[in-house]
Amino acid sequence: MFNPTQADVRRFFCAVHAKTQAGQPMEAIETLASLWIAEHPEYHADLADVDAALARNYDETPGQTNPFLHLSMHLSISEQCSIDQPRGIRQAVELLSKRLDSLHDAHHAAMDCMGQMLWESQRAGRPPDGEAYIACVQRRATRD
């Protein structure tokens, strides 16, 4: 499949931002990325300078979100929903989106669940548990 490096991911999002600013045509995945970039104007300065983006270490800035990781998670969730993989994620995110009245907020909640799943997977040394991920998103969609 596709296994981009950190630099590849950063170049991709910076290029999408540049294309958006220039009104250039984009591939489907770039269009999707541009929609999430538009939802995060706080990241536009980070995306405007590819050299600075490649050099920056976001781990050294406590309390600041890595825009490339954040946008990648939005894309991942969008892709998961488009193919319903893991099975049930589409419905869970749709329910959460309706509950929160915001797809964007639903993605952020799903990101928390995804992060928890990945952390638990790494800590236990086992593959990610897609069922636990879906259950977490479903709980957030159905709780009062």
- Of the pLDDT bands very low, low, confident and very high (cuts 50, 70, 90), residue 144 is low
Q: State yes or no: pLDDT of 1 exceeds 50.
A: no
Kindly report the backbone phi and psi dihedral angles of residue 129, in degrees, each rounded to the nearest multiple of 5, phi listed first: -95, 95
Predicted structure pTM score: 0.91
Q: For residue range 20-73, what is the model confidence (pLDDT) as tens digits? A: 999 999 999 999 999 999 999 999 999 999 999 999 988 877 778 899 999 999
Cβ atoms of residues 29 and 75 within 8 Å = yes
How many alpha carbons lie under 13 Å from residue 16 in its C-beta half-sphere? Answer: 24
Domain ranges of the chain: 1-64, 84-143
Dihedral of the CA atoms 20, 25, 31, 37 (nearest 10)? Answer: -10
Q: For residue range 84-129, what is the model confidence (pLDDT) as tens digits? A: 999 999 999 999 999 999 999 999 999 999 999 999 999 999 999 9
Q: State yes or no: pLDDT of 2 exceeds 80.
A: no
The Cα 134–Cα 90 span in angstroms is 9
The Cα 47–Cα 41 span in angstroms is 10
